[in-house]
Amino acid sequence: MQTGKWRAPWGVALIALLAVPAGAKALEDQNGGAAPGPPVLAADHSWPDVNLNIVVLDKSGAPQRVDEREFQLFEDGAQRPVQFRGSMDSPVSLAILIDSSGSIYKRKAEILAAVTTIFKALPANSEVMAVLFADRSFLDLPFTPVSNVDFSFLDRLDGRGGTALYDTVVATENHFVAHAKYVRRAMVILSDGEDNASHVSRALAFRTMEQPGAPAFYACPLSKAGILQRDAMAGLINLKFLAKDGGGAYFNLDPDPVISAARVAAAIRSQYVLHFTAANPARDGKRHKLAVHLPDKNVEIHVLPVYYAPGK
């Protein structure tokens, strides 16, 4: 993939071909605008070993340190032995999804402040990638060491078009699982939560977030310019569900985007990684319920509620 003036389009039909964007135009022409079939989830080569990214917050959303030995993990109701990966200072693989659609065209300064705040707060040696999306998605920053990021990719926030949020989540999750380097993993979305242009369903977007190797999903809402209150509320509710089903957290909109971004960064830095081996190693695509408990009932544990085994 490339960055710079040329931007590789991430149409849904290209999800399985993200490594070869040079052929994107020709493939889109061949598809004739027809909606594509469901994408194939990226292969997680660690299976049947599973890494779960977990964040523990108090009621106000502040990260909490806990004794790792107190974690109890249950898969389909049965307790599983766990190990721990990484530490509070170990590097993170982070993807940031930035809404550049027309509904938030006046928020460029806020987005720049939020992105720089999050990137600069990451542990040393972390890697980051960025996807800018409206009715189509673009990989404007491939995985790059955070110390080497050139923030000029944000100059391509053009504020036009509709919003293909679910398409973007599916494409980014698959690319992330296939290419992320570290077990501590997070995805942050800066958006108003609206979707009016996706080909894939909300259900499929949620399913993609629940695959082994997926990152914890954080939602940091952006306010809309000149939008009806009922539409704004629907977008915020959508972001809350995405964060919950993605095993991460939703952070309330703050008038100061730096404050919101700092809260997100603090949560990412505090992530724990619980490692376990699936009780059933079959590649059958089946759904498995997850639950994580701590003795302290005054904290909130954010973790994937389910995961799907990889298919054949």
Q: What pLDDT, in 10s, does the model give residues 3-37?
A: 334 454 443 333 332 332 322 222 123 223 333 34
Predicted confidence at residue 75, as pLDDT, reads 98
Burial class (CB in 10 A: 0-12, 13-18, 19+), 76: middle
Over its C-alpha atoms, the chain yields an Rg (Å, rounded) of 19
Those residues with Cβ within 8 angstroms of residue 158's Cβ, 6 or more apart along the chain or in another chain: 100, 134
CA–CA gap between residue 194 and residue 235 (Å, rounded): 5
What pLDDT sits at residue 224? 58
From edge to edge, which strands make up the β-sheet containing 137-145?
A: 137-145, 127-133, 93-99, 185-191, 216-221, 249-250
pLDDT bin (cut points 50, 70, 90) of residue 101 is confident
Tell me the pLDDT band of 43, cut-offs 50, 70 and 90.
low
**What pLDDT score was predicted for residue 23?**
27
pLDDT at 258: 87
CA distance 162 to 136: 8
Distances in whole angstroms, Cα of residue 95 to Cα of each of 86, 218, 226, 253: 18, 10, 29, 20
| C-alpha–C-alpha distance, residues 105 and 187, integer Å | 22
pLDDT band, very low/low/confident/very high, at 106 (cuts 50, 70, 90): confident
pLDDT band for position 127 (cuts 50, 70, 90): very high
**pLDDT value of position 4:** 39
| Measured distance CA(228)–CA(10) in Å, rounded | 30
**Which two three-digit tokens encode residue 129?**
């990638």
Contact assessment for residue 155 and residue 185, using Cβ atoms and an 8 Å cutoff: no
pLDDT at 303 over 90: yes
Q: Where are the alpha helices (DSSP H) in the chain?
A: 24-31, 108-121, 165-179, 202-209, 229-245, 257-269
Mean pLDDT of the chain: 84
| Helix, strand, coil percentages, rounded to 5, for the chain | 30, 25, 45
Q: Tokens at residue 118, please?
A: 């999050």
Q: How many CB atoms lie within 10 A of CB 225?
A: 13
* pLDDT at position 34: 33
Residue 234 identity: A
**Bond preceding residue 48 cis, omega within 30 of 0:** yes
pLDDT score of 283 = 94
In the DSSP assignment, the letter for residue 151 is: G
Exposure class string for 251-278: b at 16+ Cβ within 10 A, else e: beeeeebeebbbbbbbbbbbbbbbbbeb
Quote the pLDDT of residue 35. 34
pLDDT in the model for residue 82: 96
Question: Do 52 and 274 touch, CB atoms closer than 8 A?
Answer: yes
- Give the amino acid at 50: V
Neighbours of 121 (CB within 10 A): 16
- pLDDT over 90 (residue 222): no
Q: What is the pLDDT of residues 46-93, one digit of tens each?
A: 899 999 999 999 999 999 999 999 999 999 999 999 999 988 889 999
In 34-173 the beta strands, taken as DSSP E runs, fall at: 49-57, 72-75, 78-80, 83-85, 93-99, 127-133, 137-145
Residue 194, pLDDT above cutoff 90: no
Q: In the structure encoding, which two tokens stand for residue 197, read together?
A: 């242009």
Which of residues 256 and 185 earns the better pLDDT score?
Answer: 185
